[in-house]
Amino acid sequence: MKAYAQPIKQLISELGKLPGIGEKTAARLANYILRSTEDDVKKLAESIIAVKRKIKLCRICLNLTEEDTCHICCDTTRDKDVICVVEDPDALAAIEECGGFRGTYHILHGALAPLDGIGPENLRLGELLQRINTGSVKELIIATNPNVHGEATALLITRMLKEKNIKLTRIATGVPMGGDLKYLDKMSISKSLEFRRGM
């Protein structure tokens, strides 16, 4: 970075703070920005500022939205009795892409990770309890990631809600469609056997 002028160093430094962006990628992005037209750079800067100013959390599910209530919670064709709990807005987007789910969501904005300082108080569990306490929820689908943090979060939610009169389900894990058993890890095979179903 010694070869760059100070403003470029500063840009590389800021870009390098983005997740998954190392110094080399940050330098490539900075050089791309330098080669772009001033109009394109203004559009990029304005879109970043607009996202920070306009986007907020849905008052119901905590999805990212421009309004008080997101488009999913406003959709009258959705089954409000079924809530799918996800870790982040990206997980919600992935489920929506498949087009098969017609219930609503609740975004935790994280998963339990005590070593990283993320405990139950850092997740949006209070809001989830409020929704359940309204009495209309019949099923809660726990769709946290199938890793250590996601499993710990799923277990916490299960324990929190064991006294509630709602159906608790967990997304299936195991062998992916088109997968080959000989290339799968032990945990995936183990989970696929544990959660086997009838034919």
Tens-digit pLDDT profile for residues 125-157 = 999 999 999 878 999 999 999 889 999 999 999
Same domain assignment for residues 35 and 85? no
Q: Could you give the CA distance from residue 44 to residue 19 in angstroms, rounded to a whole number? A: 18
Same domain assignment for residues 173 and 93? yes
Region 186-197 average pLDDT: 78
Least confident of 29-38, 125-134, 147-156, 186-195: 186-195
Same domain assignment for residues 131 and 184? yes
Same domain assignment for residues 103 and 152? yes
Q: State which residues form the domain around 32.
A: 6-54
pTM equals: 0.82
Q: Could you give the CA distance from residue 37 to residue 46 in angstroms, rounded to a whole number? A: 14
CATH number at residue 19: 1.10.8.420
Q: Which run of H or E residues covers position 35?
A: helix 23-35
- Closest by Cα among 58, 46, 8, 53 to 30: 8
Q: Which two tokens stand for residue 172?
A: 């299936």
Same domain assignment for residues 118 and 190? yes
Please give the sequence-ordered ranges of beta strands (E in DSSP) within the chain, or none if there are none: 56-57, 64-65, 79-86, 103-107, 139-142, 167-170
Least confident of 1-10, 18-27, 152-161: 1-10
Same domain assignment for residues 91 and 179? yes
List Cα–Cα distances, 87 to 134, 161, 188, in angstroms. 22, 17, 20
Structural contact between residues 13 and 6, judged by C-beta atoms closer than 8 angstroms: no
Burial label, 168 (beta-carbon count in 10 A; 0-12, 13-18, 19+): middle
Pairing type for strands 64-65 and 56-57 reads: antiparallel
Give the pLDDT of residue 181: 74
Q: Could you give the CA distance from residue 177 to residue 155 in angstroms, rounded to a whole number? A: 26
